[in-house]
Chain A
Amino acid sequence: MGLIYPRESALAHPSNSFEGYRSTAKRHPKRPLVILPHTLSEVTGPVYGHEIVRPEDADLTLQHAGEPLGERIIVSGRVLDEDGRPVPNTLLEVWQANAAGRYVHVADQHPAPLDPNFTGAGRVVTDDEGRYRFVTIRPGAYPWRNHHNAWRPAHIHFSLFGPSYLSRLVTQMYFPGDPLFPFDPIFNSVTDERARNRMVSRFDLDTTQPEWALGFVFDIVLRGRNATPMEEPHDD
C-alpha cells in the first residue's frame, strides 16, 4: 500500500523566517525553495523500530540510582497518518528539561539546579496500533534570551521518522493551559490556531494512575495519505 504526500499538508508548518524568533534571522534561506518531485529517494526513508530501543528507554524516571524530583507524568498517544491510520513500529525520540527547567546539555547556563537522577532523554516505539507511552516528570519553564523576560512554555521535544523521508518530524509537545503561550514566538510561529493547538497535549484522567502519576495524551499526525482512495463496498 503506497502513501502519497500532498504538499498542501505541509502548510501547517511554520515558515523558517519568523521575526519574533530572533535566531531565524540568519538561519533561513532567502531563495525560493525548489519544488522536489517525490522520487524513490523521498518516498523511502530510515526504518527504525523495536530492535533499536530498550524497555528502560521509555521510563525517564528510572535511568539513575534514585528518582528524579518533580511531578511524575505518563505521556501517551498515537502516531497517525493524515487519513487517521496508525503508524506502527516507528521510533520516537524525546528530550526535555528537568522539573526546574534545566537541561543536561552543557550549553544550558540557566541557574536552576541539575537533577543527578534525571537526564531527560527517552525513546519509545509505536505498537501495531500506532500507540506509544513513556513515563517522565513534568518539565519546568525556562528563560531564554530571545527578548526581554522571555520564557519558554514547558515542553517536551519529539523527533519521529514515520514511513518515509517526507514524514520526518521534529516538534514540541506543550501542556494544556500554559500561561506562557501568548508570549512564546516559537509556539506562535505556527500561525493557524487549530494547527497550533495540535501541539498541545491534553490532561487525561483515564491514563492517570491513582496515587502515582498524571496522564497526558498527545496524538501526532505525520504527513502521508493513502495513495488509493477507499473503494465502495461491493455487494457480490
Chain B
Amino acid sequence: MTDGITPSQTVGPYFAYCLTPKDYDTREIFSADLTTPAIGGDRIRVVGQVLDGDGVGIGDAMIEIWQADPEGRYAHPADDRARGNSGFAGFGRAPTTPDGMYAFTTVKPGQVPGPNGKPQAPHIAVTVFARGMLKHLYTRIYFEDESANAADPILALVPDEEARRTLIARRLAGEAEPTYRFDIRLQGEGETVFFEA
C-alpha cells in the first residue's frame, strides 16, 4: 500500500530540449511520425491548432497521441490479440509551433473493442500538456468520414451535437496526402470536449 499517487505538476515552458528536442542537441526518441516501413493501412496526416480562451494559438504546448494499428490492435500487453510485425508502436509526440500548430503523420487506426463488447469507432487518444496546465487533459480524435461514429459508445456520452463535433476531425480537401484537421480549444467558444479518464 502507498499513501496515494504523486500529484501532477505543469510541464512548464521549458520542456522542449528534453521532450521534443528537435532544435537542441539532445537525441530525439519520440517523433510526430508514427509510421514504420512495414505498416499497412491508410497513411494520414493529422494537423491542428491548440488555442487558449482568447482564441490565441498556444506556442508552448505538447500533444501526445496513442492509437491502435489499422487492424485495431494496440502494441501493449493488455491487448492480447495477435498483431502483425509492422513495428508500429502507436505513440507520437509533437510540440506546437509558435502559433500553436501541431502535425502528425500516422495511419488510420482500426476499430477497437469498447465497453460491453461493442466496437468503438476508429479514434486516436490525445493528451495535451502546456505551461499553465497543472495536469494534462485527455481528449479523442474521431474521423468525420466514419459511419461507425454513429454507434460509438464514447461519442454517445456527449449528447450535445455541437460539443460532440469538437471530437471529430474534418477531412481537408485538396491535400496530396489524406489530411484531417483537429483543433484543440482549451476554453471558451467551441471548447473541446475533454475527458476525466
Contacts and interface: CB of A to CB of B under 8 A. Distances in A.
Interface in A35-49: 35-48
B7 A34 contact: no
B8 to A, nearest CB: 5
B66 A45 contact: yes
Contacts of B115: 37, 39
Contact of A221 (B6, B12, B68): B6
A42 B114 CA distance: 10
Nearest to B66: A165
Interface residues of A, number: 85
Interface string A13-43: 1111010011111111111011111111111
B173 interface: no
A14 B135 contact: yes
Main SS at interface, chain A: loop
A121 B132 contact: no
B125 A40 contact: no
B2 to A, nearest CB: 5
B5 to A, nearest CB: 5
A105 B14 contact: yes
A147 interface: no
Contacts of B114: 37, 39-40
A229 B133 CA distance: 35
B66 A23 contact: no
B18 A157 contact: yes
A125 to B, nearest CB: 11
Interface stretch (A67-75, A78-86, A175-183, A202-210): A78-86
Main secondary structure of the interface of B (DSSP, over half): loop
B17 A119 contact: yes
B17 A105 contact: yes
Contacts of B188: 30
- Counting chain B residues whose Cβ lies within 8 A of the other chain, the interface size class is 35 or more
B95 to A, nearest CB: 11
B14 A21 contact: no
Given A12-B4, A221-B6, A168 B186 contact: no
Interface in A80-137: 80-84, 93-95, 97, 103-108, 119-123
B19 A36 contact: no
A121 to B, nearest CB: 4
A30 B7 contact: no
Contact of B133 (A28, A107, A168, A199): A28
Most buried by A among B18, B53, B114, B134: B134
Interface string B107-137: 0000011110000100101010111111111
B135 A46 contact: no
A170 B53 contact: no
B47 interface: no
B16 to A, nearest CB: 6
A132 to B, nearest CB: 13
B102 to A, nearest CB: 16
Given A40-B79, A121-B18, A157-B12, A23 B132 contact: yes
Contacts of B186: 26-29
Interface string B175-189: 000000000001110
Interface of A: 2, 5, 7, 9-10, 12-16, 18, 21-31, 33-48, 52-54, 57, 80-84, 93-95, 97, 103-108, 119-123, 157, 159, 164-166, 168-172, 186-187, 189-190, 194-196, 198-199, 220-223
Given A16-B135, A39-B154, A93-B18, 16 more contacts: A21-B132, A33-B194, A35-B196, A38-B197, A40-B114, A41-B120, A44-B66, A46-B89, A82-B1, A104-B17, A106-B23, A165-B127, A165-B197, A170-B10, A186-B9, A196-B7
